[in-house]
Structure 1
Amino acid sequence: MIASTRGGLACSVRSGEAALSTYRDGREGCRALLTDVNPGDGITGWELARRVREITPGFPVIYMTSASAPDWKSQGVDGSVLIEKPFAPAQLAAAVSQLLDTAA
């Protein structure tokens, strides 16, 4: 799952390409990117975040992963947050809150 918060609501899509298209079409309403590192076919979460950051430098990014945490330092964008699966909903809420507070 890949999601971006939009006006307090989550916009969920199933591929990196769909997420990038959704972001490009409505980026003014998006406040953060929540992406699985390995969403399936197509671009990775690492690549998705890099492309979003090319459009909007400093955009808040949260990666979710169960196996790729060691790659975060070399693959993740600066200032991003990584949470490892399985995680509690409170961990995700805290990560989003932390990034949005930092971006404000």
Structure 2
Amino acid sequence: MAARNAEAAIEAFSEKPGSFSSLVTDIRLGRGKSGWELAKHLRGTSPTFPVVYISGDSAVHWGVEGVPESIMITKPFAMPQIITALYTA
């Protein structure tokens, strides 16, 4: 499922949390919450929920901002990197 921003993703997750198996999010999501905040919100409801971040310039903040046991993939990336990250997350 794709969401136009963090708020839409949170709403979709809140409505049917069992239909989601993981989160792949950019860090910069435009107006509103960031990918960091989105992941923290989802982890607040499901502490082991797999999270994969993608970013072109925010990867340096992953250690401080990212949720524990998450994965960071820097841009540009190849789709197999996402697949591997989801498999291992």
TM normalised by structure 1 equals: 0.84
User: For each residue in 1:38-63, what CA deviation from the matched residue of structure 2 results, as whole angstroms up to 9, or x when unmatched?
Assistant: 11110000000001011111110000
AA at the equivalent of 1:51: H
* Structure 2 residue ranges without an equivalent (≥5): none
Q: Equivalent of 2:9, from 19, 40, 53?
A: 19
Offset of 1:80 from its aligned partner?
0.2
Moved over 2 A (4+): none
**Residue aligning to 2:83:** 93
2:6 and 2:27 map into 1 onto residues whose CA distance is 10
Q: Does 1:82 align with 2:72?
A: yes
User: Is 1:42–2:32 an aligned residue pair?
Assistant: yes
2:45 equivalent to 1:55? yes
Structure 1 gaps, min length 5 = 1-10, 100-104
Length, aligned pairs only: 89
TM-score, normalization by structure 2? 0.97
